[in-house]
Amino acid sequence: MSGWRKKERLWGLLFIGPNLLGVTLFFILPALFSFGLLFTDYRFANPDMNFVGLGNLKRLFHDELFYLALKNTALFLASVPVSIGLAFLVALALNKSVYLRSLLRAMFFMPYITSGIAIAFVWMLLFQPSKGPINQLLRAVGIENPPGWFSTTDTSMLAIDIIWIWFMLGYFMIIYLAALQELNSELLEAAKIDGARGWVTVRRIIWPLVSPTTFLLLVTGLIMSIKTFGIIQAITQGGPGNSTTIVSLYVYRTAFSYYEMGYASAISWVLFAIILFITLIQWFGQKKWVHY
């Protein structure tokens, strides 16, 4: 290796050093530590800790609330593809010359940079079943019994999904906009000459061309969503009747309300396995629909 290359490598290490140190200290080591806790009955601050082997996992597989949380997580994650689809359409519209384009772009992106707690409170007001603007509107257009949103177990997750779709939309849209700008205009022109119009261009040319972006958004969007719980904790605390308790919230509750660190570690590692599994499926499934 030449001296120049060596030097370059050293600089590279120096640049990523601080970040690597942070990740090691605050992510990797705690993660490994929690893997150790998985096999214990450790309760926070209690020095009396016993090795319980796979006891926590056994308990988990008989835990009804865990299965409910899994189901809720699946319902919650359904918002991600919807949001990605909408973001694609919005990005398409805003990529063309429309009035107030920059303003609209900024508006769609605003939620993503707004404080989660503020979002939670505003949406809680909007969704309020009797006096909230959403149900007022629904009543005004003739729907006599609008949904109870957060006040029923059937609609609370739907309301959370709507908030989440709206929240993620801006981020997805910005990434799509970048992808659309990068599109090879020759391909589009060729398609046009061949007689492709409007929707056909979108479906046959643009959508396949941005498929790597879609794939990226799907993977990162699912991972980002699966670990979210702040917004749910702020609005419903997992209720009513545990209908919005997703796995990450259950981890939080077990660890920081019940102090059962061993059991919480077990849940988070199972969650990790699930995320890894989903991601691998997507990874291998991409060959079928992602075009580089």
Partner 1 sequence: MKRNRWMSASLVLALTVSLLAACSGNGGNGGEVNSGGNGKTETESSSGGKKTEVIKLKMWGGVPVEAGPQAVVDAWNAEHPDIQVEYERFVNDDAGNMKLDTALTTGQGADLFVNYAMPRLKQRIDAGQALDLSEFADYNIDEQMGRDASQWKVDGKYYGMPTTRGISFMWLNKDMLDAAGLPIPPADWTWADLREYAKKLKTDATWGLLRHEAIFMNPFNSVLESVGVTRADGTSNLDHPLLKEGFSTWHDMMFADKSTPTYGEQMTSKMPVDTMFLKGESAMLDAGGFIFRNANNLTDNPRTFKIAFATTPRMSADQQGAKAAGGLGDVLSINAKSANKEAAWQFLKWYADGGMLPMAAGGRIPASKSVNGDEAAALLLKGVEDKYDIDSLKKVVFGQFETFVESLPQQVVDIRKAEYEKYLLQQAELDASLAEMAEKHNEFLKQQP
Q: Which residues bind partner 1 (CB under 8 A)?
A: 23, 26-28, 30-31, 34, 43-48, 59, 64, 124-125, 127-132, 148-154, 219-220, 223, 226-227, 239-242, 248, 251-253, 255-259, 264-265, 268-269, 271-272, 275-276, 279-280, 283
Q: Which residues contact 134 (CB under 8 A, 6 or more apart)?
A: 126, 127, 146, 149
Closer residue to partner 1, CB minimum distance, 114 or 130 = 130
Q: Which residues contact 244 (CB under 8 A, 6 or more apart)?
A: 72, 156, 157, 160, 232, 235, 236, 238
Task: Enumerate the H helices of the chain as residue ranges.
Answer: 3-23, 29-37, 55-61, 64-77, 79-95, 101-109, 116-127, 133-140, 156-182, 185-193, 198-200, 207-209, 211-226, 230-235, 247-256, 261-289
State the Cα–Cα distance between residues 168 and 149, nearest whole angstrom: 20
Closer residue to partner 1, CB minimum distance, 207 or 272 = 272
Closer residue to partner 1, CB minimum distance, 202 or 223 = 223
* Nearest distance from C-beta of residue 3 to partner 1, angstroms: 25
* Nearest distance from C-beta of residue 174 to partner 1, angstroms: 19
* Nearest distance from C-beta of residue 2 to partner 1, angstroms: 21
* Nearest distance from C-beta of residue 162 to partner 1, angstroms: 15
Q: Which residues contact 77 (CB under 8 A, 6 or more apart)?
A: 222, 225, 226
Closer residue to partner 1, CB minimum distance, 72 or 95 = 72
* Nearest distance from C-beta of residue 90 to partner 1, angstroms: 26
Asked if residue 92 lies in contact with residue 214, where contact means CB atoms within 8 angstroms, the answer is no
Closer residue to partner 1, CB minimum distance, 200 or 224 = 224
* Nearest distance from C-beta of residue 166 to partner 1, angstroms: 19
Closer residue to partner 1, CB minimum distance, 151 or 211 = 151
